[in-house]
Chains A and B, each alone.
Chain A
Amino acid sequence: MTSEKIIEVKDLSKQFKEIKAVDNLNLNVYRGDVFGFLGPNGAGKSTTIRMLLSLIRPNQGTIKIFGKSLTEHRIDILKNIGAIVEKPDFYRNLSAFKNLEILGRISGKEISKKRIMEMLEIVGLEKRAQSKVKTYSHGMKQRLGIAQALLHDPELIILDEPTTGLDPQGMKEIRDLILKLSKDENKTIFLSSHILYEVELVANRMIIINKGMTKVEGYVQDLLKSNLLKVIFEVDDVNLSLEIIKETTWRSKLESSAEGKLIFNLDNEEVHLLNKILVENNIKVNAVIPTRSLEDYFLKITDEAA
């Protein structure tokens, strides 16, 4: 990763009639990043991606890609972007090969037939290259979407929910491909997802948005580490437990208590220590359930969105 900004978004907003889909969004993606763009369904991810690709126009704000204004250098910029936007759609009555051939011709680069077959091989569709796309399953179309995004060897790859519709093996293959593109070919990848786990596995930096606004942004490892574990202790006697910790430092770490449950914000090492104290004071601890607060937070906004 370098400090060279590949995507620079400032105060980006987009409104559809009464609905503000993106609201003063700011983000930076640096060369070599695998940037996780996370948010629940309807958070504004696809709208943002559509603005990055000039499919829709922002009401406000600026987008710079490769250091150039998107509005002023759209053609130059798009030559070096490969993208999947939402569901993968192609010319259904044409073969996968023909679809890629057509897209290759208007990609601004010379794309050989050999290159097309290589891309189809990468996504495991080489044997179905001549089949019409209308005979493809959703997963196959998703793979073809990735092939078309990589076809012209772009510097920046924008993937909007690329694993949707894939089986677990297919999802893993896509994740491996993303990591390979990032590590071996130094591609910058902008990965949109509504699954935190998926982003955690491949991204080095991430942003969580909801209702078009930035909620959390930073390095994935920092965000995951810096957040304390939220730990639920399921106990047989909540009142006695509260009495035991009343005069101790544990009291300050107690977030809430409910019937049969005590919820603490703890470091990893503090979990077993507190467990030991409770057990030694004859509290029966039925379960200790750790959740990361980032995950908890993400689940909370996902639930709200649903």
Chain B
Amino acid sequence: MLTLIRIELYKIFKKWRTYIGFIAIGLLVPLIHIAMLVEGERTLNFMTQNIQQSFVFVGNLLNGYLVSHITLASLAVHIPFLITLVAGDLLAGEATSGTYRLLVTRPVTRTQIIISKFLAGIIYTNLLVLWLAVVSLGLGIILFGVGELIVISSETIIIFKQTDVLWRFTLGYGFASLGMSVVASLAFLFSSLVENAIGPIISTMAVIIVFLVISALNIEFFAGIKPYLFTNYIMSWRLFFDDPIDAAEVIKATGVLIGHIAVFFTSALIIFNRKDILT
């Protein structure tokens, strides 16, 4: 199995499309950081304008932690597209290139093939989120230094001590990885159904957009299905920047996301095991 996973990772990282996500993050995040360097103080003032009359802010609030937090919040919705580029190609790409035949006629089970491809896809996804964390947090700390993290929501303002931040980022990025793994699993499922990688990429994005729209609409009709939409939980990494952390909500969100991964993966496994390889 390890050999198969290594082979799948090798194949993934030998494709140009794999690096699109890393390049996009490598360009976008520094751009956001530069913008924050130029306009950061004004942005911070704008964020805190309603409370400046009641509080006096001292210290380095525009720091690497704040910039990384803003970056993660703004990019988490866009990263799925970068993930589907690779995850949607994992099975469909083999069909397109006709290499299913090479794989399936080797003395390995179809289940082993599916597991290795899936795990390679998940590893890629996690590496992409890790790259986001390294660039966002690393560059943020280099450019802006460290300090207390101010997190402003519609109802609360929380200021975390400098020593209370890194573990939250670790768990936050970890949870973001889990959310992105659901996206990768969905793209993987679509990839098992078709013979061209474009289909899974478009389908996954279409599902995410539709789910996000449904989640955003305050219509009673959708109230019953909203708790089951994985898009509702993708941004739940924010729970780690709350005080106290709502453990029950974290467990629920984690359960829903893992449940989605399990359903998507199992479906892909069943489909692939029953599939006639005709390409």
Contact = CB atoms under 8 A, between A and B. Distances in A.
Contact of A91 (B4, B97, B278): B97
Interface stretch (B66-74, B100-108, B180-188, B218-226): B100-108
A75 B109 contact: yes
Contacts, number: 71
A76 B109 CA distance: 11
Interface string A74-88: 111011010101110
B98 interface: yes
B37 to A, nearest CB: 39
Nearest to B109: A75
Interface stretch (A100-108, A169-177, A191-199, A258-266): A100-108
A106 B108 contact: yes
A85 B105 contact: yes
A102 B263 CA distance: 30
A76 B107 CA distance: 7
Which of B15, B102, B276, B278 counts the most A-chain CB atoms under 10 A from its CB? Answer: B102
A54 B10 CA distance: 26
A50 interface: yes
Interface residues of A, number: 29
B11 to A, nearest CB: 6
Given A55-B277, A56-B278, A106-B7, A92 B97 contact: yes
B78 interface: no
Nearest to B277: A55
Contacts of B15: 93
Contact of A56 (B11, B14, B103, B276): B276
Question: Which secondary structure dominates where chain A touches chain B?
Answer: loop
Contact of B14 (A50, A83, A86, A93): A93
Contacts of A76: 107
A131 to B, nearest CB: 15
A292 B220 CA distance: 80
Contacts of B274: 57
B106 A106 contact: yes
B3 interface: yes
B10 A102 contact: yes
A28 B15 CA distance: 43
Contacts of A79: 107
Nearest to A158: B105
B102 A89 contact: yes
A103 B104 CA distance: 11
Nearest to B99: A89
Interface in B76-114: 97-109
A53 interface: yes
A90 interface: yes
A107 B3 CA distance: 11
B18 to A, nearest CB: 11
A179 interface: no
Contacts of A102: 7, 10-11
Given A75-B108, A106-B107, 4 more contacts: A53-B105, A55-B277, A105-B7, A106-B4
Interface of B: 3-4, 7, 10-11, 14-15, 97-109, 274, 276-278
Query: 10 closest Cβ contacts across the A-B interface?
Result: A89-B98, A56-B276, A55-B277, A108-B107, A78-B107, A79-B107, A106-B106, A75-B107, A53-B105, A85-B101
